[in-house]
Structure 1
Amino acid sequence: MAKKKAEDIKLTLTDEEREGLDNEGIKRVLTNKAVLEAAKKYKFTDEEQEEFDYLVENEKHKFFVAKAIEDKISVNENDVTKLYTDNKPSFDAQNIPFSQAKEIIQRDLLNQQVAILEAEELNKLVEEMGDSVEITKKELLFSKGNPDIIKTIIVGKVIGKKMADEKFEEQEQNKKDLEIIKDSVYINYYLDLEVRKNVKVTQEEITEIYENEKAKLGNVTPNSAYQQIANGLLNNKAIEERNNLINKIAEEYKVDEVAKEYTENEEN
């Protein structure tokens, strides 16, 4: 059966998805749906499918840990005030008002607390596990010997076992969230794949920028400068390519037209 073309697919929003959104909000949600449709029409190679599955499982495990610690997270206002007082000269020097400084401190404290709680939760899971964790040849080949990936796979097996024991993925309240997580990975992985295929930085581009800017580089060595220029170029091109791809997909799926229809229906 032939797959439908983009122009033949009418994007729709549920009442829940549409609630409280203005035209721009509706367009954002519709654009995500359009990219997801495009992603699901793309056929992964075996290697890409393996990487995608790894990313999905990894995000599921992160979600499980996040749910396990969510009731333990709290930021003490006294700690916020003390940190603000201790660092007030620095905030004043940067013209950062109290309200903004407070948000910065709260965010930093929250991130620190989450990192500590996540580590504690993982340690608890490891303590509860059996004597060994098996990693397969296929998984080792996938890791390409990267110790961080191997560690993630091993930790994932520990978390996955706990999730299975608790029937975490079968619980109704988690099903929707896990589906959203998978869709998000699908969207981002597809976009990243397309960007990787299309974005290249040439030696000529790097050299041209280096020659034009070298007088401003001070004590930066040529090798370091070339690396920084290459990374900057690659990042800028990747962002541009990603945005262009999203805009192209949105146009193919007539996102603006559909969003306009929803907005007009709301007004009538």
Structure 2
Amino acid sequence: MMKGTRTKVLAALALAGALGLTGSPAMAAGSGAATAYTCTGGDVPSGTYSRITVTGMCSVGAGAVIDVAGNIDVMAGAMLDAQSAPATIMVGHNVTAGAGSLVGLGCQPPSYTGNSAHECAVEPEGHSTISVQGNVTATDALAFLLNGATVKGNVTFTGGGSGIPWSIKNNTIGGNLTVSGQTSEWLGVLFNRIAGNTTLTDITIQDEHPGAPGVYVVRNTIGKNLTCMGLTPGVSGGFVPGSVNVVGRNAIGQCASLV
């Protein structure tokens, strides 16, 4: 991700986080070792939860260890910033994001992932450990940043977008990756290992930099098909000569030349 777009993400999350500090405290319901937890603002503390629901501007602090048996659900208009500080988050079922939400999961230093790193703003040499046993799904979100996560199921992002970049980097995805219908400032699918299909359709990039190539699809390893259609103004395989995507079956549409 270019420095300018990374700065925009940090600024947006910092502002949202500051607003979140004025919200109500997070609330737990039930009793026992694993309780349902609703975060209405501030940090989600380390703990074991049956599920987490995010309704306000929430974040995860450096070194937090969070184990969720069920879902993490980020509701419409809410924010979960788990990409500014290194943490361990284990999700037994799914992560979902509603309309107008902003979600960031995972960060890593350049020493850990090379030039594709999504560096932690807090403890820049730290890295997150994010695992999701089910699916990651966002519908009409402002932005979703998924960095260095292991997702056993599918990753599906439908609609939404904003002036905040979307980042899908360094992940291991056991199912399919599907991204469709965004209008965003930047979107990159970089250095992922995807067992199933990768399908990118009807995405419009409104990058302020003249001549920007559109959606970045860079050095992914894809088990089945790579399909790209309706991407405006186009696609890019990055700036490293000979850097390509490895596709187990077919590369279709605008991404046919990126293998």
TM-score range, shorter chain: under 0.3
Work out which structure has the larger RCO, using CA pairs closer than 8 Å and 6 or more positions apart in sequence. Answer: 1
After TM superposition, the score normalised by the length of structure 1 is: 0.21
Which structure shows the bigger proportion of residues in strand conformation? 2
After TM superposition, the score normalised by the length of structure 2 is: 0.21
Which structure shows the bigger proportion of residues in helix conformation? 1
